[in-house]
Amino acid sequence: MKVSLFTEVQCPSGSVPAELLQQFLEQVELADNLGYDGYWIAEIHFTPSFSLLSAPYVVLGAATQRTRNLRLGVAVNTLPVHHPMQLAENAATLDVLSNGRMCFAAGGGHPHTRAYECFGVEHEHVRDLMAESIEVIRLAWTEEAVDYQGRFFRIPGVVANPKPVQRPHPPIYTAASSLDGVNFAARMGLNLFIPVHVRTAEELRTFSATYWEALADHGHDPKGHELGLLLPMHVGGTADEAGARSEAGVMSYYDVIRETRESYAQWLTAQGRPLPERLRKNAAAGGLTFDRVRSEFAAIGTAAQVADRVADLARETGAGHVLAWMNIGSVAHDHIKESMQRFAEDALPAVRGM
C-alpha cells in the first residue's frame, strides 16, 4: 500500500497566501523526511476560500528543491482548460527538476469555480476533450515530434521540450466521482483515484468493482493498474484529541464546497442555464455532521484506528494507494505536522504491509 499526502490549500478570508504556501513547503519537506510516498496538490482557479493552488506547477517546482525522494503530482490537472502540449511540457519540466519524481493525474477539475465559462469550455465536450488531451500528452512524452490532427487540437509536427526523465512516460492517473468517470478511466487504461470524502460506502464498492471489471473488458491488465483513495485524515494521541483538533478545520472544507456549489448553481440559474449533470448529485452536499463525516467520509482517530480504516477500505475496494488529506480546510499547521508524524511513526509500517 502506498501512502501519499494531498492538499488544496484553502485560503479563507484574512489568510496570507505567502504564509500558507510556506507552511505547505514545510509539510512537503517533513513528508519527505518521514518517508511518505508522494504529495499531490490540486489545480483550482478563481476561488481563494476553496484553494490557493491556481498555479500548481510553480508550487511543485519549489517543492522539488526541498525534497529528495517524494513523488510530486497535480491531482488533478484540469485538462479542459489547457492546451495539452503546454501541459505536457510543464509536467515534463517538473519531472526533469525532480529527477523523475513527477506523477500526472488528468481530470475535469472543479467546474463550479466557473473555470469552464472563463476559459471558454463547453460542459458537454469535457470527456472528449480529456480523451484527446491524454492522447496528445502521451505522444508528446514518447514521440520525437507530434504531428496530430484531432477534433479539438491540430499540432503541426512540433517537439515537446523537455521530455520527461521517466520512460516510456510518467504514470498517468485520473480521478472519478461518477460511474461515467470510472468507465472512462478503465477505457483509457488509466490509474484511478476515487474521492472517499464525497462518496458513500456503497458507491465506493460499486465504483471500485466497476473499475477492475471494466479494465479487463477493455483489454487492460488490472494487475498493471492502481486504484487510489482520497481520504480526509487526522491522527491524534487519542480519538478525542484527533476529533477536537480536526473538527472545525474539516467542517470548514465542507462549508466552503457547499457555498461554492450553491453560488455556482445560483449564477447559472440567473442566466437560465441548467446545472451540469455531474454536479447534481453529491453524497456530501449538505446537512453533514462531523460525526457522519468521521464515520463515513474520513479517517480520524488514533494511529491504530486510522490504519484499521485504511485496511477496511483497501479490502473493500482493492485499493493500493491512499492519499491522506491531512491539510484539509482550516486544520492548524502544527496539528497537521503532528498528525503526519504520528501516522508515519505508528501506522505507516503496518499500512505499507497491507
How high is the pLDDT of residue 284?
Answer: 52
pLDDT digit string (tens) for 34-86?
999 999 999 999 999 999 999 999 999 999 999 999 999 999 999 999 999 99
Does residue 258 contact residue 325 with C-beta atoms inside 8 Å?
no
How high is the pLDDT of residue 274?
Answer: 86
- Residue 275: pLDDT over 90: no
DSSP letters for 133-166: HHHHHHHHHHSSSEEEE-SS-EEEEEPPSS--SS
Helix (H, G, I), strand (E, B) or coil at 274: coil
CATH of domain 2-352: 3.20.20.30
Grid cell of 323 as nine digits: 492519499
With a pLDDT cut of 70, the percent of the chain lying above it is 97
How high is the pLDDT of residue 13?
Answer: 86
**Cis ω for the linkage preceding 250 (within 30 of 0):** no
How high is the pLDDT of residue 282?
Answer: 56
With a pLDDT cut of 90, the percent of the chain lying above it is 94
- Residue 350: pLDDT over 90: yes
- Residue 283: pLDDT over 90: no
Among 313, 305, 289, CA closest to 339: 305
pTM of the model: 0.96
- Which residues, 6 or more positions from 100, have their beta carbon under 8 angstroms from its beta carbon? 164, 165, 166, 170
Does residue 160 contact residue 167 with C-beta atoms inside 8 Å?
no
Residues shown for the chain? 354
- Residue 251: pLDDT over 70: yes
Does residue 108 contact residue 278 with C-beta atoms inside 8 Å?
yes
How high is the pLDDT of residue 278?
Answer: 65
User: Which residue has cell 519537506?
Assistant: 29
Among 186, 193, 192, 188, CA closest to 217: 186
Grid cell of 16 as nine digits: 496570507
In this prediction, residues 86-102 reach a mean pLDDT of 98
User: Do the bridges between strand 299-301 and strand 227-235 make them parallel or antiparallel, or are there none, so unpaired?
Assistant: parallel
Does residue 324 contact residue 37 with C-beta atoms inside 8 Å?
no
User: Which residue has cell 476553496?
Assistant: 50
- Residue 213: pLDDT over 90: yes
